[in-house]
Amino acid sequence: MGANVSAYLRSPANDPRIFGKSEISLAESFRDQAVIAIENVRLFNEVQAKTRELEESLQQQTATADVLKVISRSASDLNSVMNTLTRSAAELCKAELSALYLRDGDLMIARGMAGVDGTRMDFLRDTPLRIDNSGAGRALQTGSILNMADVERDGTETTKKFGEALGFNSILFVPLMREGRGIGVFALGRKRTGEYSQREVELLQTFADQAVIAIENSRLFEEVQARTRELSKSLEDLRAAQERLVQTEKLASLGQLTAGIAHEIKNPLNFVNNFSALSAELVDEMNDVRMMRLLRPRNARRSMRSVSCSRATSKRSSSTASAPTRSSRTCSSTPVKVPASIVRLTSTR
- Residue 349's pLDDT is what? 44
Burial call 263-287: b when 16+ CB within 10 Å, e when fewer: eeeeeeeeeeeeeeebeebbeebee
Better pLDDT: 33 or 328: 33
Q: Which fold has domain 74-226?
A: Beta-Lactamase (3.30.450)
Query: Strand, helix or coil at 20?
Result: coil
Domain ranges of the chain: 18-73, 74-226
Nearest of 64, 66, 5 to residue 30 by alpha carbon: 5
Mind listing the pLDDT tens digit for each residue in 46-104? 888 888 777 776 666 676 666 666 666 666 677 777 888 888 888 888 888 888 888 88
**Residue 308 confidence (pLDDT) above 50:** no
Residues 6+ apart with CB under 8 A from 149: 170, 193, 194, 195
Task: List alpha helices for the chain, DSSP H.
Answer: 2-8, 21-73, 78-92, 118-126, 135-142, 151-154, 157-166, 198-295, 297-305, 340-348
What is the SS3 string spanning 260-305? HHHHHHHHHHHHHHHHHHHHHHHHHHHHHHHHHHHHCHHHHHHHHH
In this prediction, residue 277 has a pLDDT band, given cuts at 50, 70 and 90, of confident
Supply the DSSP symbol for 324.
P
Query: Strand, helix or coil at 319?
Result: coil
**Residue 202 confidence (pLDDT) above 50:** yes
In this prediction, residue 339 has a pLDDT band, given cuts at 50, 70 and 90, of low
- Residue 345's pLDDT is what? 46
Better pLDDT: 337 or 274: 274
Residues 6+ apart with CB under 8 A from 154: 148
- Residue 118's pLDDT is what? 73
pTM exceeding the 0.75 threshold for the entire prediction:
no
Could you give phi then psi for residue 138, rounded to 5 degrees?
-65, -40
Angle of helix 78-92 relative to helix 21-73, nearest 10 degrees, comes to: 170
- Residue 27's pLDDT is what? 85
Beta carbons within 10 angstroms of residue 151's beta carbon: 21
Q: How far is CA 84 from CA 111, 209, 258, in A?
A: 11, 14, 71
Distance CA 173, CA 156 (A): 13
Nearest of 68, 47, 11 to residue 214 by alpha carbon: 68
Mind listing the pLDDT tens digit for each residue in 98-109? 888 888 888 888
Distance CA 349, CA 343 (A): 10
State the average pLDDT over residues 126-133: 83
Distance CA 251, CA 93 (A): 75
Strands 146-148, 170-178: pairing is: antiparallel
